[in-house]
């Protein structure tokens, strides 16, 4: 840690605060700056005797600094009385000395003007920030007042509680609407249950086509499996064994997914007509769509 670091909070690598060019203000304080000065707790507290230094009593509050404008400061700059042409006629030493004084005064004037512009930009930025902060505080206050009014107006009075009770009674229209809504919900649930039962019944119907219900069908199935299609059966068995020997069963998931996607898109059950297709046939929608497609193709 280097020297004099404790003055800056024990942090090294920080530059000290830049000394301002103007040690006195160049403009009068604004309204909010005066308000901040009044609220700031500085000076000697009430009841504390004021010190006297060199026969003068120190004021309880620090006095505001005298305002010295930039124009007044520029007027105080002493330019050489000679012009540059007159300086050229002087000896070299005197000419250089007068030129240094002239350029020094000129650079000081330019520095004053540049610093004035910089401080004006800072003042504009502070003013904008102050206005935004004031607007936010005003909006927050208005919102708080509105929230208070809404909460007060929303609170029922004691007489209203005695007259109307704690729970608001439904109007006849609201009661009838609630009744119809309950009926609609119940019928919707019943319809969904019946559609699910019809879907299962349709699946059973499609699966029943593969059932063996008579002795004749059993004999035909045995004959077909063990006498007619022995080669096909053995080929299928070899294929299944080869697939099972493979460690990857991704093909099974792929086939199942393809079948599921096809059934979902087409509204089928294991490749056979589903409940939606049966409904379209019964209500004539399928036939109407077919006719519309034929008419569109013929145009």
Residue 239 clears pLDDT 80, i.e. is over it: no
Q: Which residues of 136-156 are buried (b: 16+ CB within 10 A; e: fewer)?
A: eeeeeeeeeeeeeeeeeeeee
- Taking the CA of residue 243 as centre, how many other CA atoms within 13 Å lie in the half-sphere pointing to its CB? 11
Q: Are 275 and 198 within 8 A, CB to CB?
A: yes
Q: Provide the pLDDT for residue 182.
A: 93
Looking at residue 89, the DSSP 8-state letter turns out to be T
Residue 265 clears pLDDT 90, i.e. is over it: no
CA distance 96 to 94: 6
Residue 46 clears pLDDT 90, i.e. is over it: no
- Taking all residues of the chain, what is their mean pLDDT, rounded to a whole number? 78
CA distance 283 to 294: 19
Q: What is the mean pLDDT of residues 62-85?
A: 84
Please count the other Cβ atoms lying within 10 Å of the Cβ belonging to residue 224: 13
Please count the other Cβ atoms lying within 10 Å of the Cβ belonging to residue 198: 13
Confidence of residue 244 (pLDDT cuts 50, 70, 90): low
Confidence of residue 256 (pLDDT cuts 50, 70, 90): low
Residue 272: phi and psi, rounded to 5, are: -120, 165
Q: What is the mean pLDDT of residues 36-45?
A: 76
Residue 72: phi and psi, rounded to 5, are: -65, -40
Residue 56: phi and psi, rounded to 5, are: -115, 135
Helix (H) or strand (E) holding 129: helix 92-154
- Give CB contacts under 8 A, 24+ apart, made by 281-287: none
Q: What is the mean pLDDT of residues 264-283?
A: 70
Strand 272-273 and strand 268-269: the pairing is antiparallel
Residue 27 clears pLDDT 60, i.e. is over it: yes
Among 107-121, 166-180, 236-250, the least confident range: 236-250
Q: pLDDT of 88-99, one tens digit each? A: 778 888 878 888
Helix (H) or strand (E) holding 275: helix 275-282
Over pLDDT 90: what percentage of the chain?
13
Confidence of residue 180 (pLDDT cuts 50, 70, 90): very high
Q: pLDDT of 106-162, one tens digit each? A: 999 999 999 999 999 999 999 999 999 999 999 999 988 888 777 766 666 777 777
Residue 184 clears pLDDT 90, i.e. is over it: yes
Q: Provide the pLDDT for residue 31.
A: 83
């Amino acid at each position: 840690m280097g020297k004099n670091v404790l003055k800056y909070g024990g942090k090294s690598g920080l530059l000290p605060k830049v000394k301002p060019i103007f040690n006195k203000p160049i403009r009068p304080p604004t309204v909010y700056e005066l308000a901040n000065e009044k609220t700031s707790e500085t000076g000697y507290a009430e009841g504390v005797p004021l010190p006297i230094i060199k026969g003068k009593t120190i004021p309880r509050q620090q006095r505001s600094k005298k305002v010295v404008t930039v124009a007044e400061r520029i007027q105080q700059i002493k330019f050489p009385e000679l012009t540059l042409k007159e300086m050229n006629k002087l000896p070299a030493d005197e000419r250089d000395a007068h030129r240094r004084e002239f350029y020094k005064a000129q650079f000081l004037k330019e520095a004053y003007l540049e610093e004035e512009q910089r401080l004006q930009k800072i003042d504009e930025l502070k003013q904008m920030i102050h206005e935004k902060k004031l607007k936010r505080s005003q909006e927050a206050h208005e919102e708080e007042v509105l929230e208070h009014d809404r909460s007060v107006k929303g609170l029922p009075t004691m007489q209203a509680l005695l007259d109307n009770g704690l729970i608001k009674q439904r109007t006849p229209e609201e009661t009838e609407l609630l009744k119809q809504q309950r009926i609609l919900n119940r019928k919707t649930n019943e319809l969904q249950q019946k559609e699910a039962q019809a879907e299962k019944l349709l699946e059973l119907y499609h699966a029943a086509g593969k059932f063996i219900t008579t002795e004749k069908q059993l004999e035909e199935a045995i004959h077909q499996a063990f006498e007619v299609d022995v080669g096909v059966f053995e080929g299928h068995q070899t294929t299944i064994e080869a697939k099972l020997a493979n460690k990857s069963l991704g093909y099974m998931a792929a086939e199942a997914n393809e079948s599921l996607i096809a059934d979902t898109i087409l509204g089928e059950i294991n490749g056979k007509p589903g409940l939606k297709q049966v409904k379209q046939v019964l209500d004539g929608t399928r036939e109407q769509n077919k006719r519309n497609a034929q008419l569109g193709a013929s145009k």
